[in-house]
Amino acid sequence: MQDLARRGAAAREIIYSAPLPSDLQEEILSAYTQLKREYGPTLTVAVRSSATAEDLPTASFAGQQDTYLNISGDAALLDACKRCFASLFTDRAIHYRIDEGFDHFKVALSIGIMKMVRSDLSTSGVMFSLDTETGFRDVVFITASWGLGENVVQGAVDPDEYYVFKPGFRRGKKVVLRRILGSKKIKMIYAEGHTHNQTRNVPTSQNEREHFCLTDSDVLTLADYAVKVEAHYSQKVGESRPMDMEWAKDGLDGQLYMVQARPETVSSQKKGQVLEEYLLKTRGQVLATGRAVGAKIASAPVRFIADVAHLSTFRPGEVLVADTTTPDWEPVMKQAAAIVTNRGGRTCHAAIIARELGIPAIVGTDNATTVLQDGAVITVSCAEGDKGFVYAGALPFEIRHTDLATLQRPATEIMINLGNPEIAFQTSMLPNDGIGLARMEFIINSAIKAHPMALLHPEKVEDKEEQTALAQLVIGFDNPADFFVQRLSEGIGTIAAAFYPKPVVVRMSDFKSNEYASLLGGRWFEPSEDNPMLGFRGASRYAHPDYSEGFALECAAMRRVREDMGLDNVILMLPFVRRVQEADAVLAKMAEFGLKRGEQGLKIYAMCEIPNNVILIDQFAKRFDGFSIGSNDLTQLTLGVDRDSQIVAFDYDERDDGVKEMIRLAVEGCARNGIHSGLCGQAPSDYPEMAEFLVQLGIDSISLNPDTVLATTLQVLEVEKLMGRTPRS
């Protein structure tokens, strides 16, 4: 490191000490004069580098050379150009060229001198025409923060994040798929009185931190730019070319500007169809959380690096922990087992480099440098969705590789149980036929956190602290209903987009009264029941006066997913439908709320989890397009066992002959009535023999937990082979 620094400084000094050729100076100043004539004497410019060894389709390293912002005046401009040329020999650029096999004297650097977009008065950021972590190509991923974009790129802030679904967008469905609020604690603005980089960071206001810095209109405009830029470069190379772009919004003219576009160089370069899965076997004490980069896991000792001067203390194979990283850190980053930073978003420098190096990183933890002890062994897990977890100690994990190119598809459809939108893109890479069960409760519990009736009627909440918490939740929304509908639709929409156009079966809410009561404000709206498992749950709520307003919000969210987002692959499913009359009442209520079976291709399924559903299956089949057998509740109601009671838990067994007979009757009843039959309970995920039993019955689909999809697929193929059934191509 010291030798590299000495040589790099000497090389830069050789270039900086040489005068710019007089004819080049004249051309630069002449063009600068023209810019000032067009934009006025107060014009400031950005002096940006672009070198031949960076931003290639197959290799990219963010920030190899230097950029200078808010430059004005002839002398300052010429000086910034000299410094920019000299930065061809930054320590990080030298090191990168050696790693990539580039000849130092066969690379070239150009300088783009551009009018500064006054994003210091507005917002700026980075966007990709795919999901950076999974390589999922059907979305535009946008990050944004207040002020100049340097903070987003360098990872100095935790930015807002937005997703737009490209297939829907191309069909005219102009809706934001998903958004995540970042903390955005600082912003970079202009600072006068300095020769170079006349910028400074200032704290953002509470209002700026609490609100998204882009409107939906802004997000959709940027998505339009991204789609067009990707299409432009894809036409040139004759194939899909995902792009990495920078943008800025001018606070004076209100316009959104594209300031850079280059090929995305990680996910787009992956070859073959080998699925690599990192699976954490056990979880431990959580020390820190942040945004996950990559989908890997690593265990190693912590090495806290405060600044560049301490890089020499880093040892290969350690976890690099820092407030943030800069391009100068590249020589040690490539030797790290993992990277953890206090600041930054998933498009910052640390994230981009970690992705390119193929190591896990967690950015934006806020407290890593204070809670992680130097030398302590930790486990960095980025394999659990958008959120990354730092665990104490070395936790066991495994790496599973599957060659998807040789994996046949069984005749029986293999679907997935999923409720967490954060892992939807990642899970969609598994071989599957769609989602057999998307649990609405997970999204309500994690993204909304409040009881829908408490949001609609906060005046009935008699606790002041709960009222304050409810008010905090809906900051930035016109009303609480909009908050609920947007959050729920974005969660379900993300899952539906990840698997589009495959079917995604979404179960309407099935909280029990005690679970609803545990939501914020919920205790003021829920009855106290001795056995909530058999109480006010599922379909019985939907048309009931005590919850019909809440059900209206659920229906509004599902209409937004299907109609506004264009995700018509969503099939709705009603849980715990006790009687035929109840089915009629709920279907009528759904139609009243704009969800009528058969209109705009809407299919409605029911859970088959009550013996009455099986006994009267011919009547229920006239009202629904399919049945999904819920083996959990069907088992407890067939055997008369409360699955929440530890005392009688030994009697709970989905493999009991009586339960299997109920399943057989349900599958045969669906076939007799020409409707879809599936099973989405826990049984086939836990017991291979149950999966075999279902295949032999001729069930249409089996829905599994993600971690059992591959193993069960292989088992089903084996059973079907013995039965003489032909796999799908």
We report the CATH number of the domain holding residue 328 as: 3.50.30.10
The 8 Å CB, 24+ separation contacts for 257-261 are 257/117, 258/225, 258/229, 259/114, 259/117, 259/149, 260/48, 261/229, 261/233
Q: What is the pLDDT of residue 650?
A: 78
Phi and psi, residue 386, nearest 5°: -65, -30
pLDDT of residue 54: 58
SS3 294: coil
Lowest mean pLDDT among 39-48, 210-219, 561-570, 599-608: 39-48
Hey, what long-range contacts does 407-410 have (CB within 8 A, 24 or more apart)?
A: 407/431, 407/710, 407/713, 408/717, 408/727, 408/728, 408/729, 409/433, 409/713, 409/727, 409/728, 409/729, 410/695, 410/713, 410/716, 410/717, 410/720, 410/725, 410/727, 410/728
> Mean pLDDT over residues 135-153, rounded?
94
Is residue 377 scored above 60 in pLDDT? yes
What pLDDT, on the 0 to 100 scale, is given for residue 194?
Answer: 46
Q: What pLDDT, on a 0 to 100 scale, did the predictor assign at position 653?
A: 87
Query: How would you label 177-214 residue by residue, b for 16+ Cβ within 10 Å and e otherwise?
Result: bbbbbbbbbbbbbbeeeeeebbbebeebeeebbeebbb
* In a shared domain, residues 413 and 381: no
Indicate which residue of 95, 349, 451, 676 is catalytic.
349
Task: Calculate the alpha carbon distances from 502 to 327, 557, 716 in Å.
Answer: 42, 20, 20
Q: d(Cα 172, Cα 174) in Å, to the nearest integer?
A: 6
Q: How far lies 669's CA from each of 276, 412, 443, 629, 666, in Å?
A: 40, 18, 33, 12, 5
Integer Cα distance of 325 and 322 in angstroms: 7
Beta bridge partners of residue 390, listed in sequence order: 288, 380
- Average the pLDDT over 24-34 and give the result: 96
Could you tell me if 111 and 123 lie in one domain? no
Residue ending a domain, choose from 115, 130, 158: 115
626 lies in the same domain as 511:
yes
Residue pair 69/199 in contact (Cβ under 8 Å)? The answer is yes
> What is the pTM (predicted TM-score) of this model?
0.85
Q: Band of the pLDDT at 99, cuts 50, 70, 90?
A: confident
Residue 583's pLDDT band, with cuts at 50, 70 and 90, is: very high
Q: Crossing angle, helix 74-86 and helix 22-39, to 10 degrees?
A: 120
Q: What's the farthest any 2 CA atoms get from each other in the chain?
A: 93
Where is pLDDT greater, at 524 or 41? 524
Two structure tokens written together for 257: 């500007």
What does the pLDDT read at residue 515? 92
Output phi, psi for 591, to 5 deg: -60, -40
Is 669 within the bounds of a domain?
yes
pLDDT number for residue 124: 97
Q: What is the CATH number of the domain that holds 584?
A: 3.20.20.60
Q: Is 349 a catalytic residue?
A: yes
Q: Which two tokens stand for residue 627?
A: 């049945």
Which residue, 115, 137, 166, sits at the end of a domain?
A: 115
| Neighbouring-strand partners of residue 141 | 128, 163
Tell me, what's the pLDDT at 350? 82
Is 480 within a domain?
Answer: yes
Q: Is the peptide bond before 501 cis (omega within 30 degrees of 0)?
A: yes
729: in domain: no
Same domain, yes or no: 140 and 92: no
- Mean pLDDT confidence for 176-182: 96
Distance CA 394, CA 293 (A): 19
Q: Which of 213, 348, 670, 680 is catalytic?
A: 680
Instruction: Let me know whether 550 and 649 are in one domain.
Output: yes
User: Which of 62-71, 82-91, 427-436, 447-456 has the lowest average pLDDT?
Assistant: 62-71
Tell me, yes or no, whether 728 lies in a domain.
Answer: no
- Within its chain, how far is the Cα of 424 from the centroid? 8
Residues 610-627, mean pLDDT to the nearest whole number: 97
Token duo for residue 207: 């209002």
pLDDT on residue 647: 81
Question: Is 680 annotated as catalytic?
Answer: yes
pLDDT band at 286 (very low <50, low <70, confident <90, very high): very high
The Cα–Cα gap between 477 and 368 comes to 32
**What does the pLDDT read at residue 530?**
87
- pLDDT exceeds 70 at position 358: yes
- Output the pLDDT for position 238: 62
Token code pair at residue 522: 């919920």
pLDDT of residue 58: 56
Main-chain dihedrals φ then ψ at residue 159, nearest 5 degrees: -85, 170
Reply yes or no on whether the pLDDT at 84 is more than 50.
yes
In a domain, 253, yes or no: yes
User: Distance of alpha carbon 374 from its chain centroid, rounded?
Assistant: 30
Give kind and range of the element (H or E) at residue 45. strand 45-51
- Last residue of one domain, picked from the residues 96, 115, 134: 115
Q: State how far the Cα of 93 lies from the Cα of 250, in Å rounded to an integer.
A: 31
**Tokens representing residue 25 in the block:** 């100076």
Residue that has been written with the tokens 């202009």 in this structure: 190
Distance of CA 294 to the CA centre of its chain: 11
Residue 727 falls within a domain, yes or no? Answer: no
pLDDT of residue 128: 96
The pLDDT score that the predictor gives to residue 19 is 92
Task: Tell me the C-alpha distance between 121 and 190, whole Å.
Answer: 9
* pLDDT value, residue 195: 47
> Would you place residue 277 in the very low, low, confident or very high pLDDT band (cuts 50, 70, 90)?
confident
CATH number at residue 248: 3.30.470.20
Residue keyed to tokens 């950029």: 67
When pLDDT is averaged across residues 539-544 and rounded to a whole number, the result is 95
| 331 has a pLDDT exceeding 80 | no
- What letter would DSSP give residue 509? P
Q: Do residues 155 and 353 make contact, with C-beta atoms less than 8 angstroms apart?
A: no
Q: Are residues 234 and 89 in the same domain?
A: no
pLDDT in tens, 206-248: 999 999 999 999 999 999 999 999 999 887 666 778 999 999 9
Secondary structure element (H or E) that encloses residue 559, with its range: helix 548-559
Residues 315 and 258 in one domain: no
Does residue 245 share a domain with residue 187? yes
Tokens of 91: 């320590």
The 10s digit of each residue's pLDDT in 466-524 is 999 999 999 989 999 999 999 999 999 999 999 999 999 999 999 999 999 999 999 99
3-state helix, strand, coil in the chain (%, to 5): 40, 20, 35
Task: Note the pLDDT of residue 59.
Answer: 56
Is the pLDDT at 61 greater than 80, yes or no? Answer: no
Identify the band that residue 533 occupies on the pLDDT scale cut at 50, 70 and 90: confident
Domain CATH code at residue 14 = 3.30.1490.20
Which domain range does residue 185 map to? 119-269
Say if residue 233 is in the same domain as residue 318: no
Number of other residues whose CB lies within 10 A of the CB of residue 9: 13
Confidence of residue 325 (pLDDT cuts 50, 70, 90): confident
Q: Identify whether residues 576 and 704 lie together within a single domain.
A: yes
> Do 498 and 387 share a structural domain?
no
The average confidence (pLDDT) of the chain is 91
Q: How many structural domains are present in the chain?
A: 4
Residues 638, 582 share a domain: yes
